[in-house]
């Protein structure tokens, strides 16, 4: 069987095999402390060795894929090897090498340090660790970096002086924005799937189990929870005494901020993956059926009957400025609609789906497309002002600074700065690992979350 087909089959079968391996390990422990039949003991140990032997098999497959230039698939093979044997030094070294070739230097360093902790005298791991490059100092000063865990951050959100981080393992952390020191940590009952959102004195996080959790922003203690019918990928939105929860079950819920009780709910029939935007008492949001909708924020009554139909799933959060709604769609278009009627003023086509939220400033709308494009358009006419091509897809919302727009790209460790007026690339800063979300600017600092579980803070240039 070809290596990739074998790899995919193992991904399907591994959960069952991992359970079997756990049972075999348990039996081994029992037999080591009791007088069990020697033939049974030998059989159990043989079966255990056979399962563990698959780690070596997957290392070989990873080596074949890496030699063929299929690095992403090689990473998957090495990770599967470590799923079977977390202390396999060879798998740790191979995965570290693959990560380093992708620019994921912090992840590679962490793996090599694990290998040396398991086998302190390993010369190969020591040489690889010493050979890892360190990103050169960049145009922005790194204020601090904090490793919050080995899981990928689901998102970050700034408060007044606190940065909140949600992790895919269900932990929520509060860090001081000036130093990155941990203030508190809470653990939710399921993996976090949404970025945190701050509403009054609460931090809200959506999870894979369909629950929106409310925590005290001061100490992380639980306040209330609300259960929807599907995973929650969208960060919560709020206005006044209501919280708006867009769920993967296709329903937008309006909840009481104080208690989490349902105030109203509207079912769209299609999954919701981005939060609504509240403007002038109206909620604007998109759904995976390709429609852009507008609802009364207080009652949930439709403002645009049936919504406005696009030709792709709408997973871009709308931006509303001067009575116009700007929103991207999976059909590659950025739409400019009348906020009152939904009538179309113009649309602009990119080369692929738009997931990022549009940004507006001084009559210019900035749009990032997964078609490797960052563009500036005239907000009234939709005519291009400038375009910039990126090396990989742009799926995260950029951030606007004083005179630059900052963005990150998929599978790329760099933070990029582009001149807002001309669209010319100013610089690229190597952050040391792939990024898990777009840049966030608050209080003169720029914050990033790496896929290795590191949060970074940079000082932005002082306005002239």
Question: Which of helix, strand or coil describes residue 400?
Answer: strand
Residue 440 pLDDT level (bands cut at 50, 70, 90): very high
Q: Please check the confidence at residue 3 and state whether its pLDDT lies above 50.
A: no
- pLDDT of res. 50: 57
- pLDDT of res. 134: 87
Residue with tokens 């113009």: 346
Order the strands of the 344-349 sheet from edge to edge: 319-321, 324-328, 333-338, 344-349
Q: Mean per-residue pLDDT for 217-237?
A: 98
Q: Is 28 left (phi over 0), alpha (psi -120 to 50) or beta?
A: alpha
Q: Please check the confidence at residue 9 and state whether its pLDDT lies above 50.
A: no
Per-residue pLDDT tens digits for 103-115: 999 999 999 999 9
C-alpha span between 191 and 271 (Å, rounded): 19
Residues 6+ apart with CB under 8 A from 454: 106, 145, 146, 147, 148, 432, 433
Judge contact between 255 and 242, C-beta under 8 A. yes
Q: Please check the confidence at residue 8 and state whether its pLDDT lies above 50.
A: no
**Tokens (6 digits) for 31:** 């037999």
Residue 31 pLDDT level (bands cut at 50, 70, 90): very low
- pLDDT of res. 5: 39
Question: Which of helix, strand or coil describes residue 14?
Answer: helix
C-alpha span between 441 and 200 (Å, rounded): 20
- All structural domains of the chain, each given as residue ranges with its CATH number in brackets, are 3-131 (1.25.40.10), 141-190+211-218+275-459 (2.130.10.10)
Q: Please check the confidence at residue 28 and state whether its pLDDT lies above 70.
A: no
Q: Please check the confidence at residue 54 and state whether its pLDDT lies above 90.
A: no
- pLDDT of res. 220: 98
Long-range contacts of 386-393 (CB under 8 A, 24+ apart): 386/422, 386/423, 387/423, 388/418, 388/423, 388/424, 388/425, 390/416, 393/352
CA 234 to the chain's CA centroid: 11
What is the DSSP track for 127-174?
A: HHHHH---PPP-SSEEEEEEE--SSPEEEEEE-SSEEEEEETTSEEEE
Q: Please check the confidence at residue 37 and state whether its pLDDT lies above 70.
A: no
Residues 6+ apart with CB under 8 A from 26: none
Per-residue pLDDT tens digits for 367-406: 999 999 999 999 999 999 999 999 999 999 999 999 999 9
CA-CA distances (angstroms) from residue 76 to 60, 70, 129, 320, 435?
Answer: 12, 10, 21, 41, 18
- pLDDT of res. 324: 98
C-alpha span between 301 and 305 (Å, rounded): 9
- pLDDT of res. 52: 56
Per-residue pLDDT tens digits for 192-214: 999 999 999 999 999 999 999 99
Question: SS in 3 state form for 214-234?
Answer: EEECCCCCEEEEEECCCCCCC
Q: Mean per-residue pLDDT for 117-136?
A: 94
Q: Which helix (H) or strand (E) holds 297?
A: none
Per-residue pLDDT tens digits for 279-323: 999 999 999 999 999 999 999 999 999 999 999 999 999 999 999
**Tokens (6 digits) for 449:** 């979350």
Residue 34 pLDDT level (bands cut at 50, 70, 90): very low
Residue 47 pLDDT level (bands cut at 50, 70, 90): low
Residue with tokens 């063929």: 68
Average pLDDT, the chain: 91
- pLDDT of res. 464: 63
Residues 6+ apart with CB under 8 A from 293: 268, 283, 284, 285, 286, 287, 302, 304, 307, 308
Residue with tokens 């044997």: 85
Query: Judging by beta carbons within 10 Å of its beta carbon (0-12, 13-18, 19+), is residue 38 exposed, middle or buried?
Result: exposed
Q: Is 235 left (phi over 0), alpha (psi -120 to 50) or beta?
A: beta
**Tokens (6 digits) for 379:** 């907000």
C-alpha span between 322 and 334 (Å, rounded): 17
Q: Please check the confidence at residue 30 and state whether its pLDDT lies above 60.
A: no
C-alpha span between 394 and 328 (Å, rounded): 13
- pLDDT of res. 272: 98
Q: Please check the confidence at residue 45 and state whether its pLDDT lies above 60.
A: no
Q: Please check the confidence at residue 441 and state whether its pLDDT lies above 60.
A: yes
Judge contact between 446 and 142, C-beta under 8 A. no
Torsion angle, alpha carbons of 265, 270, 272, 276, to 10: -60
Q: Mean per-residue pLDDT for 233-246?
A: 98
- pLDDT of res. 35: 47
Torsion angle, alpha carbons of 185, 186, 187, 188, to 10: -140
Residue 462 pLDDT level (bands cut at 50, 70, 90): confident
Q: Between residues 53 and 54, which one has the greater pLDDT?
A: 54
Q: Please check the confidence at residue 21 and state whether its pLDDT lies above 60.
A: no
Q: Please check the confidence at residue 22 and state whether its pLDDT lies above 70.
A: no
Q: Is 272 left (phi over 0), alpha (psi -120 to 50) or beta?
A: beta
Residue with tokens 């939105």: 237
Q: Which helix (H) or strand (E) holds 334?
A: strand 333-338
Q: Which residues pair with 346 in a beta bridge?
A: 336
- pLDDT of res. 44: 53
pTM (global) more than 0.85: yes
Residue 151 pLDDT level (bands cut at 50, 70, 90): very high
Q: Mean per-residue pLDDT for 417-422?
A: 97
Q: Between residues 17 and 344, which one has the greater pLDDT?
A: 344
State the CB neighbour count (10 A cutoff) for residue 174.
Answer: 24
Residue 135 pLDDT level (bands cut at 50, 70, 90): confident
Q: Mean per-residue pLDDT for 214-231?
A: 98
C-alpha span between 24 and 42 (Å, rounded): 11
- pLDDT of res. 284: 98
Q: Is 103 left (phi over 0), alpha (psi -120 to 50) or beta?
A: left
């Amino acid at each position: 069987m070809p290596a990739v087909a074998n790899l995919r089959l193992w991904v399907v079968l591994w959960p069952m095999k991992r359970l079997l391996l756990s049972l075999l390990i348990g039996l081994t422990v029992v037999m080591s402390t009791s007088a069990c039949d020697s033939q049974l003991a030998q059989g159990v140990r043989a079966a255990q060795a056979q399962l563990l032997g698959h780690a070596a098999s997957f290392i070989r497959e990873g080596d074949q894929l890496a030699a063929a230039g299929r690095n992403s698939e090689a990473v998957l093979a090495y990770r599967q090897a470590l799923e079977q044997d977390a202390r396999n030094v060879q798998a740790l070294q191979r995965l570290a090498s693959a990560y380093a070739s992708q620019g994921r230097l912090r992840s590679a360093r962490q793996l090599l340090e694990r290998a040396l902790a398991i086998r302190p005298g390993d010369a190969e791991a020591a040489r690889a660790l010493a050979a890892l490059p360190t990103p050169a100092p960049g145009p922005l000063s790194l204020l601090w970096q904090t490793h919050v865990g080995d899981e990928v951050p689901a998102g970050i959100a700034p408060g007044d002086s606190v940065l909140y981080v949600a992790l895919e393992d269900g932990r929520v952390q509060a860090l001081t924005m000036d130093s990155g020191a941990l203030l508190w940590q809470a653990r939710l009952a399921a993996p976090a799937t949404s970025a945190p959102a701050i509403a009054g004195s609460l931090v809200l996080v959506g999870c894979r189990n369909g629950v929106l959790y409310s925590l005290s922003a001061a100490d992380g203690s639980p306040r209330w929870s609300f259960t929807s019918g599907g995973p929650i990928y969208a960060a919560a939105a709020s206005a006044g005494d209501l919280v708006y929860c867009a769920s993967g079950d296709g329903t937008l819920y309006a909840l009481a901020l104080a208690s989490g009780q349902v105030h109203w709910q509207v079912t769209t029939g299609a999954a919701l993956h981005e939060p609504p935007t509240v403007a002038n008492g109206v909620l604007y949001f998109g759904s995976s059926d390709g429609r852009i909708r507008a609802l009364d924020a207080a009652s949930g009554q439709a403002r645009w009957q049936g919504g406005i139909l696009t030709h792709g799933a709408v997973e871009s959060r709308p931006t509303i400025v001067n009575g116009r709604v700007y929103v991207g769609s999976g059909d590659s278009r950025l739409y400019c609609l009348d906020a009152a009627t939904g009538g179309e003023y113009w649309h602009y086509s990119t080369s692929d789906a738009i997931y990022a939220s549009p940004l507006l400033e001084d009559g210019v709308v900035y749009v990032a497309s997964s078609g490797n494009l960052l563009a500036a358009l005239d907000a009234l006419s939709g005519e291009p002002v400038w375009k910039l091509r990126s090396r990989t897809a742009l799926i995260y919302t950029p951030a606007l600074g004083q005179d630059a727009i900052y963005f990150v790209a998929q599978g790329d460790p760099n933070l990029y700065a582009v001149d807002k007026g001309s669209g010319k690339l100013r610089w690229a800063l190597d952050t040391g690992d792939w990024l898990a979300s777009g840049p966030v600017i608050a209080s003169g600092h720029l914050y990033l979350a790496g896929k290795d579980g590191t949060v970074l803070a940079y000082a932005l240039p002082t306005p002239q």
